[in-house]
Structure 1
Amino acid sequence: MEAKTKHPEKLFGNLIERAKELNCIYEIETILHTPKLDTKDIFIKVSEILPSAMQFPEICVVKISFQDEIVAGLDVKDTAWFMREDLTIEKHILGWIKVFYLGKKPKAGFGPFLKEEKRVLEAVASRLSDHLLYQNLRGVFKDLESKKDAEMQHRDAEWVIVLDLLRKTDPDVYVRISRKMLNHLIWRGVREAEELLQQFLPVLRYGEEDILADTNRPLQTRALGDSDMLSQKVFEIARDHMKDDEILNNVRQWIQQDKTSFLVRATSDVNSSLTDISQAVHRYYKIAPDEGLELAPSARIGIRAGLIRRFLTDQLEYVVIAKNFIRAKDFHHLLQRVIVSPGSHGKLGGKTAGVILAFRILKKQTEEKDLFKNVKVPKTWYISSDSMIQFMYYNNLEEMLEQKYKPIDEVRKEYPHVVQLFKNSHFPPEIVQGISMALDDFGNAPLIVRSSSILEDRLGSAFSGKYKSLFLANQGTKHENLEALLDAVAEVYASTLGPDPMQYRSERGLIDFHEEMGIMIQQVVGKRVGDYYLPAFAGVAFSNNEFRWSPRIKREDGLIRMVPGLGTRAVDRLSDDYPILVAAGQPGLRANVSVEDRIRYSPQKIDVLNLKTNAFETVNKNEFLSKYGNSYPELFKITSIDHGDHLTKPLPLQTDFAREKVIFTFDGLINDGKFVREIHTILKVLQNTLAYPVDIEFASDGTDIYLLQCRPQSYSKHDAPSPIPKNIPKGKTIFTARKFISNGTVPDISYIVYVEPDAYTKLQNINDLKAVGRAVSKLNQVLPKRQFILMGPGRWGSRGDIKLGVSVTYSDINNTAVLIEIARKKGNYVPDLSFGTHFFQDLVEASIRYLPLYPDEGSNIFNEEFLNKSPNSIFDLLPDFAYLSDVIRVIHIPEAATGMVLRVLMNAEVGQAVGILSPPSSSIYS
């Protein structure tokens, strides 16, 4: 990708200037935290450091005034080229800082000073003001503490001293504190407090005694009396009805609450940018770095809720729960790694919100503290969601926002061009600068750029796999790594305009929603193994198991789907490989029991990052382990040795991985029990706290478990088991199944789209194989929605060998009622129990039933005569694809079966499913 900035030399110069400014602020922070420095010494040192942040430090001088006295730069003579900022406590000016140039320089944003230099001066003045306030209040409280050992007669004066100081230095705060005390006394039922309020208010008009009365008449406005006199009388009453310690504690807490009012204002003001709020959060923790702030529960929850709404999501269901777990302190740490555009009002997106909340919930579990102590979240930088819109405006791509209103065929056709258009566009300099800082923080650690859109990972709209996530080995020069990272971010932005997310949004009534894309730049979990980088294993886990391979497994036992290496093979449908499946609640009940099946259905390939070629790769398991087996983390826990008729656990220092037949079984990990128990407990804790089943993604480096994602688990709206009728006439049965059955009933199917397995196998031309997928996509649009089913060989929608499954995406099949995958012994087509993949989650969310058929096993029925000899409607529906009539058969059931329709009945409890012909909307049990 070409450079994303239009003036790289200028950007480089800007980066140098920003580095000088950051270094200056860092040095000033160090001074403020240096013990034994008095205020004057601090001012002198600040005046010496501040010129280093300017463009021309050699002719820059600083003068500081405090309490009408020049405390730094006494010998500095004023010039015409200067800028000034005041030192304030609340709204009272206590002094100022002036920065002078001794000679004339070219005009910039503020005279000869850059606007960035003006912001540095503002930041320094604000920080010094906060420090003065902190020192002021700390001195007051230290004086009070020292008086605690004094004689009892002096104790009465402690809170009086505080209030007297407040009244003199900050009368506004004094009045607010007295108002809180008056409300507190009235709440306690103190009669004198109620009478005092009446003395300072006009007499209530008739009918206003109860302000909660349901009337339509406005209440009379009543002016308050003298505020200072009222305040004094309030505390005289408090002295008579409250203990001194109680008054002091309340006053102390109210003062501290008042000090946080700026943060409350920032989060509640819709005009506050993310930068404004971030600075407020930073200030909140700088005011009292030693003691922290003791807030009332209501104030603490209010600040949390405000920060959650502004940075994560304003979804009420989320905020109600999250405010009890995500602390303001968490935002203080989070915001150190957030990249925003100037004036940004965006959010960090659904994926970010989900994983942050899940992690905080787990860390708050005291009962499971030891079990969860190794649960972590990878180092992550974030880009705010509206940065995507700024990127589009910066490159004059506003018209792309209207892509969502185009026909889906047009969206699909234009999407490759849109991707390249985004990848060849430029980023605003401030985003480039932020991403450059992120790269400095990550070093050469491999990265993944993940989507985190506003709509993503919500209840009812998971967007599983709809948006891009891209791996980067990150092993080049700083410039190369920056270009690759910007390129990946642009591609993730472009993925919002793809056909699958557009179709998905349209189906859920979200097409008019203003979607924005937040970005997570995340360090890849794993370790270096030779020239490669990968986790020991990764996967996904679900609260509910919808496809149970044993009647002893309960739905609430959940499911874990794991693979060695990167987790891409756990969430993508693969044409020629398998994951390891575990029922989290009953790990002893394996999906594959015999040695033959355990070998056949074990992972054969590993997704890795090649650090030498700087690329994402898929490697053969045998070749990789023969070379790097001894370096692979936790390999002895996730592999077994194949001895033909039995499997054994590999022994450390005694296993030659170059000679042995090594199989990924995860036996050691499963049999040990701790890992499965940990994942199962995580699922239970999250489900119980969030009040809905969850879908999590995880990875392990061999030592710790890293939580990568948490979202509501997709579910089907109609999942009751259907009774299976007995004694169905054989001629009316189209198929039966007894493996991997879910629950549900699909009535009144009018069409069957049947891809004939043998004919599909005989296709040799790649264009013909792809044409089958395109024809299915066309039929998906012309056939009546949810009144047709798809039947065909292998694994539909998988990545890999196209001959092992029809090449489609979600938007190509989203209108079908059932997807049926057929496995014949004479072919190499094996359906995948793909529950947990993004493709499968789409089917579940859309209530599209999935059913694997094994026609050659046991007494299963498969009515090939009906499927192969019924009239083929493809000639009428898709004449352009008539040349594929031997491969694709479109059967209009009422025409082929004298007015009847197809009904599909599925019952997971008895492990049976059947497709039968019956009259429309009739009972088949009579």
Structure 2
Amino acid sequence: FGPDPIEYRAERGLIDFGEEMGIMIQEVVGTRVGDYFMPAFAGVAFSRNEFRWSPRISRDDGLVRLVPGLGTRAVDRLSDDYPVMCAPGQPGLRVNVSVDDVLRYTPKKIDVINLTKNSFETIEVNELLKNFGYDMPMIKRLVSIHKAGYISKPVGSHIDFDEDDLVVTFDGLISDTPFIKQIHDMLKLLEETIGHPVDIEFAHDGKDLYLLQCRAQSPSDGSVAAPIPKDIPDDRMVFSANRYISNGRVPDITHIVYVDPDKYSELAERDDLIAVGRAIGKLNKLLPKRRFILIGPGRWGSRGDIRLGVKVTYSDINNTAVLAEVARKKGNYTPDLSFGTHFFQDLVEARIRYLPLFPDDKGVAFNEKFLTRSPNILCEITPEFASLQDTIRLIDVSAVTNGKVLRVLMNADLDEAVGILSSPSDETTKGTASQMFAEHASDSSWRWRFQMAEHIAATLDPDRFGVKALYVFGSTKNASAGAASDIDLLVHFDGTPKQREMLEQWFDGWSLALGEINYLKTGYKSGGLLDVHIVTDKDIEQKTSYAVKIGAVTDPARALPLHKKK
């Protein structure tokens, strides 16, 4: 192993777990275009969409990331270029609508294989189009023409590759071919068959669509569904939300930048409204990167009527960890939010979390007292914007909470998010009981379950219940359990019917107790957390049912040390 996988395994406590890897070699899909070999286009698709840019898009609508040429630029997140994104279930709801946004976020580079040099290369799309545009398959479906402030699909068969201002939009592919429906149907079929959300990689050579890879959709870094604890004390809750939530966890926010919606709406002069945006840009440069949250009214990045939201560009907010938009009711009207669409793709590529807040909804929390009455250090950090201190509030979370930080937890499965005051994540909790039930890191669901399985085994009296051995298997044993996973136990039983009845009652008690603890920790409800399977000597001898897990060559159950009498 190289240092990266070793560090990854060490961080997750997997050093002692066996792991194997297979290698698959595939032929590159594509055709020759001049000196290069490449597919017409390629990309990745996900059956679940964690980056919804409209309230009309659901998670089940999926997500496609498209690029011309090799799909490497769709898989990797790049700081200097963008893929075209589309929700297969809602292909008409495009991320970028305005001409300026389309031009900014169009793919400008393309990955190819240089046949003369026998090497992988990244080249400019415009350079390739001017030299070999007539040789590129499906080119009419991939590009649009920018002319006189408008962007339109090519009409007829002629494209002037020397004179036309061409941009890669995939408009023809998305609107005039069955491709998007094919991808959507493929994702649905694979998810239904596998029984789990999937992601796929694909390529198209101009004639045929090739499925290159399909695997269970795994959350990207920081995009795991965070457990949502229950019974959070009021003095620790800053906000909660229950609409349009994506997955994510931001553990250690040290500063809150809060633009008060009421005070912002009271600003009479346009210069003052613009100054708010300039102040945000200055704070963005001064505050610790990815350690602060921006909470503001309406639509961040408003360009026309800036009373709808703070006028900022992406460079003014690119260091924040979370961008939150607040929609306060005005009479019976709740204003629309932008869902980050003014710089949505920048947020996605930079993994900045977007969170819509509706403080006037029933069942949500919004600690306005904390946000408006905590000491404001804006004048200390940016004295030139002292006149805006009633509108912009800068809160040093640690200073006003005796060392705590703001932790944002987001769970799309529950459609819930919370912002809570908590101890920094690098602090350890002392005491055996506290360690068992304390807040854990994102990979702790399996770890806590494994600890509980070991604890159950250590307290089980084998003689009393007629138990010869106890095993753990499944996601808890394989270190892949999530917040909603069961603990799978396998009991080798050799006792009387009465002992079996008592044993089942004993496990039922543990199951209900652990289920309640898991609910308080994560928000996931269950009728119990244990999935117990009892096997006998005969089952093991005949290798029936779950007994095959004991001593299996592949993925065997793991024995747990039982209680020993002193």
| TM-score, normalised with respect to structure 2 | 0.48
Higher helix share: 1
TM-score, normalised with respect to structure 1: 0.31
| Higher gyration radius (CA) | 1
